[in-house]
């Protein structure tokens, strides 16, 4: 139990700082923590130190002071951060820093953030020497929890009851822009949309990606069996553009609208909002779609969906992680460390087209039931 009673549900701090720089999926997971703080401490000034790209996702949230940390700037990013903080609060300090990023970069950045309480992760998870940079640690009952739940341990430390609310802003202009792109590609305005975001972006994490053949088979299935328009989304890397082109070539019936490398962050969010179903591996858009409460099918074999699956749509995960653990590491989920990853793209082939079809049909049956 927390013995620090300086701040609580009935005793709010004046200023609080969130330090979470990246990535898009994890930024989405922070939102219930942010909403919890806003609910219990409505008069507290909240500052969020965040990455340059990630800022684009949440910049429209009201009442938050954002300070951008651009890691691409190298060492100068740290001096700029110190200067920006000084400009923001002068010679004062934050009452609380929530140090929510396990990385040396973030911990070094925390040195520029003056705060009375610097709250970090528990000893079991405080890798990269994070505990050296903090004077308090969260106290979870278990570390075998979803990433989003681990973030909620930060407000729980102060006795705040979590608020399971995301309220991710969606730009009306971006929604209209995407809608017009899809219509111009020949899609009727009333046609249901099936979004495929095929790639996990980072090159070091390409082992999270499913097969182009699998995606093409699913595109053909939803086109012929459910009369849905397939839309491909993704970023600007060569891997993503090549994968999209390959999926389109492999399709026998479907004619996907290709929005890969054709949308801003706002438009990507808008596309996920417009979608009736989203299909993706463990990457940012699967978590953003779930946060928007769009029906989301996650593809998981290399990572544990109990820890990092689409939080609101775990029932729709095509989960072959237990089989992958057994095949490649001879372990069960219970035996493996909670963050264990299977770092080979081969494991994703354990997910079958039928696995995904089962989830699609489950969603469509649920939707028909709710309509009746």
Residues 353 and 214 in one domain: yes
Domain count for the chain, please give it.
Answer: 2
Residues 110 and 200 in one domain: no
Q: What is the pLDDT of residue 1?
A: 45
Kindly report the backbone phi and psi dihedral angles of residue 299, in degrees, each rounded to the nearest multiple of 5, phi listed first.
Answer: -105, 110
Residues 215 and 246 in one domain: yes
Measured CA to CA, the distance from residue 329 to residue 48 in angstroms comes to 39
Cα dihedral 296, 257, 22, 33 sign: negative
Residues 134 and 245 in one domain: no
Pair 241, 281: CB distance under 8 Å? no
Q: Check pLDDT > 90 for residue 245.
A: yes
The residue with greater pLDDT, 11 or 365, is 11
**What average pLDDT does the segment 30-37 reach?**
98
Residues 197 and 295 in one domain: yes
| Domain assignment present for 166 | no
Pair 357, 218: CB distance under 8 Å? yes
The string of pLDDT tens digits covering residues 231-244 is 999 999 999 999 99
| Domain assignment present for 1 | no
Name the domain boundary from 97, 127, 157. Answer: 157
Query: For 224-262, what is the HEC assignment?
Result: HHHCEEEEECCCCCHHHHHHHHHHHHHCCCCCCEECCCC
Domain coverage including residue 348: 172-371
User: Domain containing 239 — which CATH number?
Assistant: 3.40.50.2000
The string of pLDDT tens digits covering residues 276-327 is 999 999 999 999 999 999 999 999 999 999 999 999 999 999 999 999 999 9
The string of pLDDT tens digits covering residues 110-157 is 999 999 999 999 999 998 899 999 999 999 999 999 999 999 999 999
- Virtual torsion, Cα 203, 342, 304, 221, nearest 10 deg: 70
Pair 218, 279: CB distance under 8 Å? yes
**What average pLDDT does the segment 169-180 reach?**
98
Q: Check pLDDT > 60 for residue 3.
A: no
pTM of the predicted model, to two decimals? 0.95
The string of pLDDT tens digits covering residues 181-204 is 999 999 999 999 999 999 997 665
Q: What is the pLDDT of residue 128?
A: 85
Name the domain boundary from 157, 190, 221. Answer: 157
Q: What is the pLDDT of residue 204?
A: 56
Name the domain boundary from 126, 157, 188. Answer: 157
Residue with tokens 């700029």: 80
Q: What is the pLDDT of residue 203?
A: 63
| Domain assignment present for 7 | no
| Domain assignment present for 8 | no
With 0-12 / 13-18 / 19 or more C-beta atoms within 10 angstroms meaning exposed / middle / buried, residue 65 is: middle
Q: What is the pLDDT of residue 369?
A: 58
State the chain's mean pLDDT as an integer.
95
With 0-12 / 13-18 / 19 or more C-beta atoms within 10 angstroms meaning exposed / middle / buried, residue 332 is: exposed
| Domain assignment present for 198 | yes
């Amino acid at each position: 139990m927390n013995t620090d009673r300086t701040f609580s549900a009935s005793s709010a701090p004046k200023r609080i700082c969130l330090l979470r720089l990246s990535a898009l999926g994890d930024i989405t997971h922070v939102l219930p923590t942010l909403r919890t703080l806003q609910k219990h401490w409505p008069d507290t000034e909240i500052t969020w130190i965040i990455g340059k790209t990630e800022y684009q996702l949440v910049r429209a949230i009201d009442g938050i002071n954002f300070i951008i940390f651009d890691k691409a700037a190298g060492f100068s990013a740290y001096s700029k951060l110190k200067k920006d903080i000084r400009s923001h609060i002068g010679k004062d300090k934050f009452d609380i820093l929530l140090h929510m990023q396990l990385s040396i970069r973030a911990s070094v950045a925390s040195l520029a953030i003056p705060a009375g309480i610097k709250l970090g992760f528990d000893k079991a998870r405080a890798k990269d020497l994070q505990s050296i940079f903090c004077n308090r640690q969260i106290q979870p009952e278990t570390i075998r929890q979803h990433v989003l739940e681990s973030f909620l341990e930060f407000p729980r430390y102060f006795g705040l009851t979590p608020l399971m609310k995301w309220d991710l802003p969606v730009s009306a202009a971006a929604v209209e822009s995407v809608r017009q792109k899809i219509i111009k590609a020949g899609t009727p305005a009333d046609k249901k949309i099936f979004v495929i975001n095929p790639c996990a972006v980072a090159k070091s994490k390409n082992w999270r990606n499913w097969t182009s053949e699998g995606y093409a088979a699913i595109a053909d299935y939803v086109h012929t069996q459910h009369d849905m328009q397939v839309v491909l989304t993704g970023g600007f890397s060569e891997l993503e553009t090549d994968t999209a082109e390959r999926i389109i070539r492999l399709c026998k019936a479907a004619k996907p609208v290709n929005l890969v490398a054709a949308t801003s962050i706002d438009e990507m969010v808008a596309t996920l909002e417009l979608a009736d179903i989203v299909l993706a591996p463990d990457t940012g858009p699967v978590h953003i779609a779930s946060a928007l409460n769009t029906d989301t099918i996650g593809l998981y074999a290399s990572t544990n969906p109990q820890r990092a699956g689409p939080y609101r749509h775990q029932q729709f995960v095509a989960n072959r992680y237990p089989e992958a653990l057994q095949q490649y590491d001879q372990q069960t989920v219970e035996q493996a460390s909670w963050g264990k990853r299977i770092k080979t793209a081969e494991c994703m082939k354990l997910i079958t087209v039928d696995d995904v079809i089962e989830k699609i049909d489950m969603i469509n049956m649920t939707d028909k039931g709710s309509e009746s």
